[in-house]
Amino acid sequence: MPSLISYGRQEQNYVFMTETRIGQYAQGLVNLFYPALCVACAGDLVSGEEAVCMTCLYEIPRTEDELHPLENPLAKVFRGRINITAAASCFLFSKGGKVQELIHNLKYNGRKDAGIVTGKIFGEELKDLTPFNSAEVIIPVPLHYKKLRKRGYNQAACFAEGIADVMKIQLMENAVMRIDATETQTRKSREERWENVEDVFVVKNEKALEGKHILLVDDVITTGATIEACATPLLAIKDVKVSILSMASARD
């Protein structure tokens, strides 16, 4: 005769399978009325696709900055301004393009998955590349607490989360604090952008970062003023190295 233990296991398996089917059924209903859409083209996602469809992942222009960590257009933006170890953007940003739509959905439509998924994609490429694979900490450029409270999340932190997960490095979302709520950088000149963010970032625990190689991450880099202002107090810490990453960057 089957033991009480075997009956118990059968019952647990039945409950697990039933709950799984119910969960799949419920998800099917959600997808029926609210289909999962690609954040870049708004097309339906098929099984196995997350946030961005395979067509868009193929079509979205890549920078390949990571192959030349200090000899690429992004790295040259910071040359003579701050002493970085490396710099790379994942995608090329262009107005009206799919990358702009992806980032818009990430920032304003609650699509945190767009940042996490693209972060994982970029992380897979960085994890075996020097000097990125020597990083020990990843820090997203912070939002001011008022903007963070309004939006509910930091879009740069979503991208950083995906990278950290793949590269197996520590995510320190609160290592740097933004102490002033600056005006939007849109339509400002390079000089005005720098003045707008100068001295607005403060490191909360310098001791914890001493001697670390930090990946400093933002969503979009244009003039580089914001991320430069954030990197400056980090580079003042003893024996710190900073490499810069972004989801996208604009090119002339």
The verdict on residue 83 lying in a domain is yes
Torsional sign, CA 236, 81, 183, 150: negative
Point out which residues pair with 117 in neighbouring strands. Answer: none
The verdict on residue 40 lying in a domain is no
How many residues are there in the chain? 252
> Residue 147 sits in a domain of what CATH number?
3.40.50.2020
The verdict on residue 12 lying in a domain is no
For the chain, how many structural domains are there in total? 1
The verdict on residue 14 lying in a domain is no
* pLDDT, tens digit, 9 for 90 and up, residues 155-213: 999 999 999 999 999 999 999 999 875 555 455 455 554 455 567 899 999 999 999 99
* pLDDT, tens digit, 9 for 90 and up, residues 117-166: 999 999 999 999 999 999 999 999 999 899 999 999 999 999 999 999 99
Distance CA 196, CA 167 (A): 33
Distance CA 169, CA 21 (A): 35
Overall pTM surpassing 0.75 (yes/no): yes
Contact 119/162 with Cβ under 8 angstroms?
yes
The verdict on residue 238 lying in a domain is yes
